[in-house]
C-alpha cells in the first residue's frame, strides 16, 4: 500500500542541470565558493522545475551544526506557558531557529523522554520551562540526562527550576508570595486562606514560603488548615476555595498561587453569593491576561512571562562561552478590584 513516490534528490537536480552535486549543493546553500552565473541559473531553474526540497535530515547529518531548539513545557495551552512560549518563539524566530515544543503535562517521565528525544534530534538547545518537582529520584535522573546532553554539546536553559543545570531564569516566586501576603496583612486581614498548587511542585512551595514569611513578619501564622493543595487550574481553585471556606468560615482573604486558581475561587465565591472584595478579598499570582477581565478585576502578583521566555531563549542561543548564568525575573504587586480592607467583623 505504501508505495514510495519518486522523491527528488539533490542528485536529480544536479543531473537535470548538468552539473555535479557539489556544485548544485554550493549553489543551493549559496556557499562562499564562487560559481559561474550561468550554472547558478541552470541549477536554480532545475530546483524550481523539479520542486526540490532538500532533506533536512541528510543536511543535518552532513554538516555538524545544530539549528533547531527544543522547548519542554507543562502545557502550552495553559496561559502561563502560552505567554512564556510566545517569548521563546519570538526570540527563536529572530534567530531563524525552528522551535520544537513538547508538552510534558507535568509528568516527570514524559519530561525525561522528551529530553532524550530532543537530544536524539541534536537540537542546539533545550529550554525547560515550568516548576520542578519535589521528587529526588526524578530530579536526579533529569539532571543526569541534561548533563549528558550538555556533554554532547547541547545547551540548556531552564525557567523556574531550582536544579539549574546550565542557564536559568528564576522568577521571584518567594518574593511574589511575600508581596501578596504582605499586601493582604496590610489591609488588615488576619485569617488568610491559601489556595495552593500541587504539593510536589517547587513553585507551590516557593510561593507559599513567601506567604509564610509575610505572615511571620506581621506576627501571624498560616496554619495547615488554612492551606489547601489542588490542581494548578481553575477547577482546582474552585474546589480549594470551597474547602477553605468550609473549614474556616472566618476567612476574609484568599491567596491563590496562580491566577487560574484565583479565577476559580472568584467563581466559587460568586456562586455562594459572597461579595468580593467586600466580604472576602482575593489575590492571584502571575497576572495573566484574564486577570483584568474577571469581575472584580483580579489583584495579583505580576510576572513578566513573555519577557521571561525571551530571556530564556536568548540565554539558550547565545554562544557556549562563559559560565552558566542565573537571572531572576522580578515579581511586582498589582492591586486591582478584588482586594480591599478586611471587613470590620473579620476582627
Interior/surface letters 145-162, b for 16+ CB within 10 angstroms, e for the rest? bbeebbeeebbbbbbbbe
Query: Judged by CB, which is closer to a second copy: 37, or 120?
Result: 120
Q: Which does 323 bind (CB under 5 to 8 A by kind): DNA, a second copy, none?
A: none
Quote the least distance from Cβ 107 to DNA, whole Å.
Answer: 26
Instruction: Write the CA distances from 55 to 21, 94, 164, 172, 309, integer angstroms.
Output: 14, 23, 35, 44, 30
- What's the min distance (Å) between Cβ of 117 and a second copy? 6
| Residue labelled with grid coordinates 474546589 | 239
| Count of residues engaged in binding DNA, rule: CB under 7 A | 29
Distance CA 100, CA 157 (A): 15
Distance of CA 96 to the CA centre of its chain: 21
**CA separation (Å) from 142 to 69, 161, 171, 202?**
18, 12, 21, 15
Residue 148 contacts DNA per CB under 7 A:
no
Residue 28 interacting entry, from DNA, a second copy, none, C-beta within 5 to 8 Å by type: DNA
Please list every residue from 26 through 85 that binds a second copy, using CB under 8 A: 51, 53-61, 64, 75-79, 82-83, 85
Q: Which of residues 25-64 bind DNA (CB under 7 A)?
A: 25-26, 28-29, 31, 33-36, 39, 52, 54-55, 58-59, 61-63
Give min distance, CB of 77 to a second copy, in A.
4
44 binds, among DNA, a second copy, none (CB under 5 to 8 A by kind): none
Question: Which range of residues in 23-31, 32-40, 116-124, 202-210 is near a second copy by CB under 8 A?
Answer: 116-124
Q: Which residue has the cell 509575610?
A: 214
Task: Convert 286-315 to b/e letters by CB count within 10 Å (16 or more is b).
Answer: bbbebbeebebebbbbbbbbbebbbbbbbb
Shortest distance, CB of residue 122 to DNA, whole angstroms? 9
Residue 178: CA atoms inside 13 Å, Cβ hemisphere, count? 11
Residues in the chain: 347
If one asks whether residue 10 binds DNA (CB under 7 A), the answer comes out as yes
How far apart CA 163 and CA 140 sit, in angstroms, is 9
Residues 6+ apart with CB under 8 A from 36: none
Residue 122 lies near a second copy (rule: CB under 8 A): yes
Q: How far is the CB of 327 from a second copy (least distance, A)?
A: 22
10 binds, among a second copy, DNA, none (CB under 5 to 8 A by kind): DNA
Residues found near DNA in the complex (CB under 7 A): 7-11, 18-23, 25-26, 28-29, 31, 33-36, 39, 52, 54-55, 58-59, 61-63
Amino acid at each position: 500500500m505504501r508505495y514510495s513516490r519518486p522523491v527528488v534528490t539533490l542528485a536529480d537536480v544536479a543531473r537535470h542541470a548538468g552539473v555535479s552535486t557539489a556544485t548544485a549543493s554550493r549553489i543551493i546553500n549559496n556557499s562562499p565558493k564562487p560559481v559561474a552565473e550561468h550554472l547558478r541559473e541552470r541549477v536554480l531553474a532545475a530546483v524550481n522545475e523539479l520542486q526540490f526540497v532538500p532533506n533536512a535530515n541528510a543536511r543535518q547529518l552532513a554538516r555538524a551544526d545544530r539549528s533547531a531548539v527544543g522547548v519542554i513545557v507543562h502545557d502550552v495551552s495553559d496561559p502561563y506557558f502560552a505567554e512564556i512560549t510566545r517569548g521563546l518563539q519570538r526570540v527563536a524566530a529572530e534567530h531563524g531557529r525552528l522551535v520544537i515544543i513538547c508538552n510534558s503535562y507535568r509528568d516527570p517521565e514524559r519530561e525525561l523522554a522528551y529530553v532524550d528525544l530532543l537530544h536524539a534530534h541534536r537540537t542546539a538547545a533545550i529550554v525547560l520551562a515550568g516548576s520542578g518537582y519535589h521528587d529526588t529520584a526524578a530530579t536526579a535522573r533529569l539532571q543526569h540526562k541534561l548533563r549528558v546532553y550538555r556533554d554532547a554539546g547541547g545547551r540548556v536553559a531552564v525557567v523556574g527550576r531550582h536544579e539549574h543545570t546550565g542557564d536559568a531564569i528564576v522568577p521571584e516566586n518567594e518574593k511574589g508570595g511575600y508581596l501578596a501576603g504582605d499586601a493582604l496583612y496590610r489591609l488588615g486581614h488576619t485569617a488568610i486562606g491559601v489556595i495552593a498548587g500541587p504539593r510536589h511542585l517547587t513553585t507551590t512551595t516557593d510561593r507559599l514560603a513567601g506567604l509564610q514569611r509575610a505572615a511571620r513578619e506581621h506576627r501571624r501564622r498560616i496554619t495547615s488548615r488554612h492551606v489547601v493543595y489542588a490542581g494548578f487550574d481553575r477547577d482546582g481553585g474552585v474546589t480549594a476555595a470551597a474547602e477553605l471556606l468550609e473549614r474556616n468560615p472566618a476567612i476574609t482573604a484568599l491567596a491563590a498561587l496562580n491566577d487560574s486558581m484565583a479565577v476559580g475561587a472568584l467563581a466559587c465565591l460568586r456562586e455562594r453569593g459572597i461579595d468580593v472584595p467586600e466580604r472576602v478579598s482575593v489575590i492571584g499570582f502571575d497576572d495573566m491576561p484574564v486577570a483584568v477581565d474577571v469581575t472584580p478585576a483580579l489583584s495579583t502578583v505580576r510576572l513578566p512571562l513573555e519577557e521571561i521566555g525571551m530571556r530564556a531563549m536568548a540565554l539558550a542561543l547565545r554562544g557556549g562561552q562563559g559560565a552558566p548564568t542565573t537571572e531572576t525575573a522580578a515579581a511586582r504587586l498589582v492591586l486591582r478590584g478584588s482586594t480591599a480592607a478586611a471587613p470590620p467583623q473579620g476582627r
